[in-house]
A and B are shown apart, each in its own frame.
Chain A
């Protein structure tokens, strides 16, 4: 018997899973959400993502896809007749992909550096993060979202930042985003968090905070070991 439909293997703590949920919901795609206990991964997850053994994994008609950015592009191509997530013009599409990559490499890794360092090194990581955000801000121009009037691919890829950066700021006790220095990013954060889809899919903040604190504690204790 063939496996029909769309299944998403995920976990509420993962901002990468959220990316896929946003893409599916923006396109109005019905899906079954399968919650994974990451300390006790299911045989299905291990079968569907043997290389990384991570969430999210999307399974469409029995065929699995892993890696959130790859999944979001797949969703855009497989359901191409409604709500395009990437522009159709090749040059604009390339620009979109460029900035999505920038978010992954500079902002995502940068935020981990901020969370996992101490003292001078942490301050340096904060400064670099602010520089990356300033560069990213240039791509927003005067638009409400990176996708223009509506949420697009870069918004989805960067969508962890509004809440997760806020949580990191609270945990480390240092402000990363100052409205005077990053006015456009600050405005984007407000608009993004105000979007109905984001409000409806927001994971329970206390659980995510606890998880982030645990990450920092683990890193710090590994450093002093």
Chain B
């Protein structure tokens, strides 16, 4: 008898998307619960008292938080369509690149999208360099995981619709076919794969969401001046 799987998430979050992609890839049925982050449910606060954030995976009533921790749990619990190789060194390399994405690529890209002036230019350069580093790692492979989607591909899912939308909202260009052709091709391949496309939020709604966020930030700034 299979134990119940629930995912507490937010449709705008690429971290939550990671968890859903992994579950879909492995054919694990789950119940998705959308959280309003301005009004967090008592269940979420009970399941993730330390960070009070999404995503949280609850398996048979036991909660796990932090998307990368959740991905590794999913991998160890449901063995179908593995997202990590068997070989310890190759597993270590996958974890290395996942860490690079989480600690360097994503936060610096995020900061570059919301900053201004000199700082923004500096962060944009750093972002482009990070993407080039990722691209060199991808090289001629179809996916970071090889022939099939792996942990690193799932960690990099923000490079799909999120990056496209956020660049449009910020009015800057960081990632595109011209600058990173191999990575761009990967993003399209990734986005069109079966397990991924059902998990991605609709682009136009994501655009409205982040446009509203940017307007809210500008209004706050104007109010402070």
The interface of chain A, by Cβ under 8 A from chain B, is 51, 60, 63, 65-67, 69-71, 73-74, 77-78, 90-91, 93-95, 97-98, 101-102, 135
Contact = CB atoms under 8 A, between A and B. Distances in A.
A91 B91 contact: no
A101 B95 CA distance: 13
Interface stretch (B8-16, B60-68, B160-168): B60-68
Interface in B62-84: 62, 64-66, 68-70, 72-73, 76-77
A133 to B, nearest CB: 13
Contacts of A78: 88-89
B184 interface: no
Nearest to A60: B89
Contacts of A91: 59, 62, 64, 73
Contacts of A77: 88, 91-92
Contact of B73 (A63, A90, A102, A135): A90
Contacts of A67: 95-96, 99
A-B residue pairs, 8 tightest by C-beta: A74-B92, A90-B76, A77-B88, A94-B73, A78-B88, A97-B69, A65-B92, A70-B95
Contacts of B59: 91
Given A91-B62, A94-B70, A51 B92 contact: no
B24 to A, nearest CB: 19
B99 A93 contact: no
A74 B70 CA distance: 19
A66 B96 contact: yes
Interface in B82-107: 88-89, 91-93, 95-96, 99-100
Interface SS, A side: helix
B65 A63 contact: no
B50 interface: yes
B121 interface: no
B137 to A, nearest CB: 9
Contact of B64 (A60, A94, A135): A94
Interface of B: 50, 59, 62, 64-66, 68-70, 72-73, 76-77, 88-89, 91-93, 95-96, 99-100, 133
Contacts of B89: 60, 63, 65, 74, 78
A98 B99 contact: no
Contacts of B100: 51
Nearest to A135: B50
B111 to A, nearest CB: 15
A224 B31 CA distance: 53
A60 B96 CA distance: 16
B170 to A, nearest CB: 26
Contacts of A93: 72-73, 76
Nearest to B78: A90
Contacts of B68: 97, 101
A60 B89 CA distance: 9
A60 B77 CA distance: 29
A51 B70 CA distance: 26
Given A65-B89, A77-B91, A93-B76, A70 B96 contact: yes
Given A94-B69, A97-B72, A71 B77 contact: no
Contact of A101 (B69, B73, B76, B91): B69
Contacts of B99: 67, 69-70
Given A70-B99, A98-B65, 12 more contacts: A69-B99, A71-B92, A74-B91, A78-B89, A91-B62, A93-B72, A94-B64, A95-B64, A97-B72, A101-B66, A101-B68, A135-B50
A205 to B, nearest CB: 29
Contacts of A66: 96
A56 to B, nearest CB: 13
Nearest to B130: A51
A206 to B, nearest CB: 32
B53 to A, nearest CB: 12
Contacts of B77: 90
Contacts of B69: 94, 97-98, 101
A76 to B, nearest CB: 9
